[in-house]
Structure 1
Amino acid sequence: AELAARAADSAVCAAARPWRFVNALSRLVVDPERFPDDREEMRAVGMGAVYTRTTHRAPLRAPDVDQRPLLERYFHPYARAMTEAVDARIAATGRAVVVDVHSYPTAPLPYELHGTGSRPAICLGTDPFHTPPELRALAEEAFAGFGSTGLDSPFAGTYVPLKHYGTNRRVTALMIEIRRDTYMTEPGGPAGPGLDALAGALAELVSRL
């Protein structure tokens, strides 16, 4: 959230400040970026829309927990609000670009289904329908100074509201997964000087969209 805020507030984005949609709730409550049904592969490790396992595969909730109260209270309102934000951009400009920003650890965690793949400084998650080549190319250029940029490893895909997913090409999307050692000392602690450089790269990308 801080990275996105710095990018949005930068001079590069002064002419067209991007909208930010921030998830302020822990994913241990609900994960708003999962499919809420059997399409979600992370359900295999207890990490669907409602987690029953932690990142270390420790029990969090009963496997047969009733997920409906959490989905109704948190997941669906988040999805509706994000859909409304995207709809508003389409109404105003004819299109919407979702840039989904995350971070990930240098070493794989036990929950990762694809943890044996490459772990570049910048992982770009793409979708075959919603990520056009030109969007991917702009991101690769913006983050070229960080040593390594890869596609869909260790995390693939990107977030698009279900209303538009797979049907509306006016909604384009890209996930940016940032390896944490590029801006902080793991496993925790304050961000270092790398955060400003990353914010600058993100701002440059957004300014060219």
Structure 2
Amino acid sequence: MTDTSASFRLLPGAPGSPVVLHVPHSSRAVPADVRGGIVLDDAALELELDHITDAHTAEIATEAAASAAVTPWRFVNRLSRLVVDPERFPDEREEMLTVGMGAVYTRTTHREDLRAAGFDGGPLIDRYFHPYAAAMTAAVDERLEAVGHAVVIDVHSYPTERLPYELHGDGPRPPICLGTDSFHTPPQLMTAARQAFAGFGGTGLDSPFAGAYVPLKHYGADRRVSALMIEIRRDVYMTEPGGAAGPGLGALAKALAALVDAVGTEAVTGV
């Protein structure tokens, strides 16, 4: 199944693969009507996109999928996270609300105004967040029905230097940060990731970013859904902020493919 929605796309993998590579923050696209609600001028918006976009992560996932022995499924956000951030909780559970970066951002990475005071993000949640969540849920449900388990691997990047919005940025900033969930990240999934990314000078755990994306339908309820976030420090593969990719991109894609192969051939659930 391929989703042809303008805001996200599900790219099919092998029928027997449990793996969904989730790429939520790679795009810089902001629809014109959404741009109208952002108070930054064009130059400031471009700079903010440089800081907030996980540049080239879609390309890393594409190359990994192409070289994996068993092709994973890919779910790719085609809009910027400045439209909505599909990985946030859409309610008061989201801790990033304290810095104006819930499901709809009202502040920038440098804690400046992104949208006017009192902005109503409800229409953006209805238009973009909920359809994205429903489609991602359906993609995971399809893997559960097809092979009995699903492995969601988030593909992210983060800046070498801490940005002001980061709530937990005072800890280690390793080349590869593994974000985990106590319910959905079994030890064998973490072990496979450490082995796959061992050649990049070290992997860390849950610093500076923690957690892993699981559809709310399954979150904390279904151990057949495993999840892990791969956070790549940007100096490993690109010029910061928002610059071109370098040779590290290919090496990262090969490592991600190795992880896909390691977890795509056996169950890594916590059942």
Q: TM-score by structure 1 length?
A: 0.97
| Pick aligned residue for 2:216 from 162, 185, 191 | 162
| Pick aligned residue for 1:119 from 155, 173, 192 | 173
Which residue number in structure 1 is paired with residue 110 of structure 2?
Answer: 56
Report the AA paired with residue 7 of structure 1. Answer: A
Unaligned runs of 5+ in 2: 1-57, 264-271
In angstroms, what is the RMSD of aligned CA positions?
A: 0.8
Which residue number in structure 1 is paired with residue 207 of structure 2?
Answer: 153
Q: Equivalents in 1 of 2:220, 2:104: separation in Å?
A: 23
Q: Equivalents in 1 of 2:239, 2:218: separation in Å?
A: 38
| Match runs of 1:105-116 below 5 Å | 105-116=159-170
Asked if residue 76 in structure 1 is aligned to residue 130 in structure 2, the reply is yes
| Pick aligned residue for 1:28 from 62, 69, 82 | 82
Which residue number in structure 1 is paired with residue 245 of structure 2?
Answer: 191
Q: Secondary structure at the match of 1:118?
A: coil
Identical amino acids, percent of aligned pairs: 74
Q: Secondary structure at the match of 2:65?
A: helix
Q: Secondary structure at the match of 2:156?
A: strand
Deviations 1:125-165 (A, max 9, x none): 00000000010010011101100110000000010000000
Report the AA paired with residue 83 of structure 2. Answer: V
| Match runs of 1:5-44 below 5 Å | 5-10=62-67, 13-14=68-69, 16-44=70-98
Deviations 1:29-72 (A, max 9, x none): 10000000111000000000000101111101234322210001
Report the AA paired with residue 185 of structure 1. Answer: T
Q: Equivalents in 1 of 2:117, 2:163: separation in Å?
A: 21
Which residue number in structure 1 is paired with residue 101 of structure 2?
Answer: 47
| Pick aligned residue for 2:230 from 172, 176, 184 | 176
Using the TM superposition, name which of 124-133 and 180-189 deviates more.
180-189
Q: Equivalents in 1 of 2:85, 2:117: separation in Å?
A: 16
Aligned residues: 206
Asked if residue 3 in structure 1 is aligned to residue 60 in structure 2, the reply is yes
Q: TM-score by structure 2 length?
A: 0.75
Report the AA paired with residue 143 of structure 2. Answer: R
Q: 1:188 deviation in Å?
A: 2.6
Q: Equivalents in 1 of 2:120, 2:240: separation in Å?
A: 35
Q: Equivalents in 1 of 2:192, 2:118: separation in Å?
A: 44
Q: 1:3 deviation in Å?
A: 0.2
| Pick aligned residue for 1:86 from 140, 151, 161 | 140
Q: Equivalents in 1 of 2:117, 2:142: separation in Å?
A: 38
Report the AA paired with residue 162 of structure 1. Answer: L
Q: Equivalents in 1 of 2:117, 2:134: separation in Å?
A: 27
Which residue number in structure 2 is paired with residue 96 of structure 1?
Answer: 150
